[in-house]
Structure formats: C-alpha cells, structure tokens
Chain A
Amino acid sequence: MKIVACYKLVPEDRDINVNSDLTLDLSKATWKVGDYDLTAIEMAMRIGEAQEGAEVVLLTYGGDVVTDQKLKKGVYARGPQMGYAVRDNEAFCSDSFGTARVLAAAIDKIGDVDLVVCGEGSGDIYSQQVAPILATLMKRPVVNAVKEASAEGGQLTVKRDLEDAVEVATLPLPAVVSTTSEACKPRIPGMKDILAAGKKEQVVWEIGEVLSDQSALRKEVVNTLSPAQKERARTIFEGIDSLDSFVDALRKVM
C-alpha cells in the first residue's frame, strides 16, 4: 500500500504586517508547514503503520522554498520514507483548482498510489477544497472531515466528524481523504529523527515536468485588505494598586 500525505508551506502569520493602505506585507514572513498538514501526515503514518509493508511518502507544491533543508527536515522527520516536491515560481498565485490539478498530475506520476491524505485546509487561505477537487480530477472517491481511518482489504473505513454527528463510512481504495484539524496529535520528532530526515530522498520536479498545459482558469483576487481597526480610548491603568480606579472606570462603560 502506498500513501501520499500532502502539505503546503505557508507564510508564518505572526510575521505578516499590515501596510498603511491596509494591504498585507508578507515580505518579512518566514515559512512554515501548514498546521493542519502535520495532522494529515500523522494520520497517513498511523494508517501506514497498521499495514505491513505500507509506504508513506510526502508531496508538496510551492516555490523555491520547497527544497529548504530546515523545513524539509521538520516535515520528513515525522516518519514518511521519502517525498516529492513540485517547484513552480507561480505557485503562490495558484488557487485550489490549480493546486489540485498539479497534485493530481504529480500523484499520477508517482504511480500506484492507494490513498492520498490532505489536511483540513491550508494554513493560509484555508479553502478546504484541494482534496475533493483533486479526487474528482483523478476519478477517485473522496471524503473530508475524517477523524479516524483504517484500511483493510482494499477498503477504507473512516469516521467523519460532522457538525452534529459522527458518521462511519466506507469507501473503496484508491481514494482521497482530508482530515479534521483535531484528528490526531502530530508526533514530536526527536533529534535522531531530524538528523535522519536530512538524508531522506526528496524528488524535485519542475512544474513543466508534471503538467505540460498550465493554462487553467484562475480565480482572480481583486484585493486582500486588513479591516480598518476602530479608534479606541486607550485609558490604561498601571499595576494592581490602581485596581480601584480601573473598577470605577469599568463601571462607567458597562
């Protein structure tokens, strides 16, 4: 059994600044792996570890950062045997359809993939659409909101965490799933795992090697603006000794 776990490198949101015209400044942002994707990798590992001889490999799509050694180690240390990356300088303006198209082509190229596991949504844009789109492009069954999954006899059994119920369902392999954000706690890699991860193979494909025709319709971003913050009175009391004055002021605004 071969399982592919997908992840996306996203800008660290703590490093994003708001410009005076309310546009975002991402230029100082470092990169990190999307939080939800670590959950997907962990679920892929757990399904794989329960199957003798199963192989878990990683797949990402992004700019030059996909080969950053420190980031690679941080992800590959979570257990998978090896991985693949599709490099594209235009990846940052891809939408969920475009990304799904690239991943579907890469999964085809990897070959013999029984299961694809994606996170709940990307850590930055969080559209939660890549898994169902890529599954449909590959003509494979798909479910989202998966909190538990196990494979047996060419079939996947999942528990889906829906709004008001947990649904148990089966789907035939090969298949695609996306997890919930709380499905499982990603393992914390030890120093040995991190050192070993540096030596794990990462196959890097340029976008042209995966998709010959990249002319998909794109969702156009008209603008991305931080909402203006209201002006506030900013009456600040310093220290616990000023508690009485604070409580007086609080009574007046309540």
Chain B
Amino acid sequence: MIAMGKTDKALVVAESQAQIRELIAGAQGLAEKTAFYCWEKGIVAAGDERLQIEGDMPFVETFPSLIAYVEQERPSVILLGNSQNCRLLAGQLGALLGTAVLVDAQSLTIDGDFLVSSRMVYGGMANRTERVQLPGAVAVVAPAVFPAVEDTQQPVIVPVAYVPSAIKVTAVEEKVVESVNLAAAKTLVCVGRGFAEESELQLADDFARKVGGEIGCTRPISEGEGWMSSARYVGVSGLMLNPDIYFGLGISGQIQHMVGVNGARVVVAINKDPKAPIFEQCDLGLVATVQEALPAIVQNL
C-alpha cells in the first residue's frame, strides 16, 4: 500500500522482533519519525528511537509505562502487533486518546486527516474500509501486511520511566501449540458437516495424505464439535488463503467460508446435496457422500 500522506511521529509496539520489523516498515510509510518498543530483546537496527524500560518483566506489566509515555509524547499514530497482549494495550491506548481502535488492519494509508484501514467483518463475509481521525490513531496490524525492515541504522535508545503494574504475572505455563500454517498450504483439504462422526475424519486424513494436502475445517467442526483446533478453521477473520487446489469435503459453501478460499486456483467440491451452494462456486464437483466417495477416490486417483 502506498501512503498518500505522512504524519509526524509514529509509535510502534510489538512483542517479537519479527512483528516489530514489519510494523516499523509500515510506520516509515506513514510517519516522518518512528519510535518503537520491542519487548523481545536483541538488536533491531531500524527506526529512529528505541524505547527501553529498565528491568525484565512480562510484556503485560510494561503497559502502564508505555501508556504513560504515550500520554506525554502523544505520537500521532500508534501501530501494534497482532497478538492478544497488543490488542489489550491497543484498547487502553484508544481509551486514553479517545478513539476507536482499527483492528486486523490489512492495509493502512493516510488520507488527509485520516488513517484509513481495511479489514474483514461479519466473519469474513465482507471487507470494511474504515477511517479514524489523526492525530491520535491506534491500529492493530494483521501479520505480513508490510515487508520486514532490514537492519540499516542504529536507533537512539530512549529510556521510559517504569510505572508499576496492577496486573502481576505469577507463572507462565508452557502451551502445546499445534503449529499449522494453512496460509502456506498448496493443497488444502477442508472438512465440513458432511462428516457425521469424529471417527470419519480418518477418511479426510487418508484423502489429504493421498493428495499431499493440509487439513482445514469449517467453523462448526472446530467451534461447534471441537473435532479440530481453531488453528485449522477457515473463515476466521483475517485468514485469506490462496492454495493451488482447494477441496471442500461435505461443505455446504457458506459465504464466510468460501470468501476465505476465493484465491484458490481450483476449487473441488464433494457434497451429497446437489443444491449445496458450493456447487455454484466450484470448478469441479461430485454429488456423493464423503463416506462413499473418499475411499473410492483414494483407491483410484
């Protein structure tokens, strides 16, 4: 995205180096000067100023210090990474500045006195373009919107006074994270309501192995039945997929789901209902139950 104008000072906040590098790139297109706070330690040789809070503490405990900094410095635009903690900080900064926060921003531009962003609403059914007044705009930016900056210049270190936090982190427990990157999948096999039992998912697994695909699902399968983790759910706000081939298995083709795979080169659908909306939006379709069709395809393909 090309910024149409620039504002004076941006503040960028993120937990990780990977996020901060993308956001600094975005901020440099929007503002003349960029200050940043990256919770993760390590060298980031980019941006104009790096904020530093003395001591080691969990990210959430730095918020009162960062809020006090914003209250004093009043950056004209604040960009935050896409994480639970950043969303929490964003709302607090929005309240301080009297503005609604732009979230899940897929693009950011300055148009006159406004910061303009686009994002998905209604579960991915529509893109919304919205804008807030500058100065004092706050935006949570979706991943990979901006290319990460390379190391070029050492930023000036700016100490930020520590303000104690009412929230105290007492323990951090490891979490088993299912790492699945649907966005990177060349072949995507999606499972819907046509599967009546959790045990039938084996059919989809066998099929996915045959075609070399990653498995995803619709919202009822993950949030309703809990058969798959939400990391595999297609149609969640922000997840736009561009696989080479998409297989919709036992999927009716609700618009929120189909919007997420609009970018596929080929859409293949298998559903027992000839009237399912997915047949209107596929390249190749088979009217049959997944229970009957999948084992036969695995054998014959």
Contacts and interface: CB of A to CB of B under 8 A. Distances in A.
Given A160-B84, A165-B174, A226-B259, A242 B92 contact: no
B297 A127 contact: no
Contact of A24 (B58, B103, B125): B125
Contacts of A90: none
A221 B130 contact: yes
A205 interface: no
B127 A227 contact: yes
A193 to B, nearest CB: 22
A229 B266 CA distance: 13
Given A96-B91, A165-B175, A235 B169 contact: no
- Helix, strand, loop or mixed for chain A's interface? mixed
Interface string A103-140: 00000000000000000000011111111111111000
4 shortest A-B CB distances, which residue pairs?
A132-B91, A136-B95, A95-B100, A97-B100
Nearest to B84: A145
A143 B167 contact: yes
A85 B268 CA distance: 47
B281 A229 contact: yes
B211 interface: yes
Nearest to A245: B286
B132, B167, B256 — most chain A CB neighbours (10 Å): B167
Interface in B108-141: 114, 116, 121-123, 125-133
B41 interface: no
Interface residues on B, range: 35 or more
B169 A16 contact: no
Given A165-B172, A170-B170, A226-B255, A217 B99 contact: yes
Given A97-B98, A128-B103, A171 B166 contact: yes
A50 interface: no
B296 A243 contact: yes
A135 B92 CA distance: 8
A166 B173 contact: yes
8 contacts: A24-B125, A35-B223, A145-B88, A159-B173, A169-B168, A216-B98, A234-B280, A243-B300
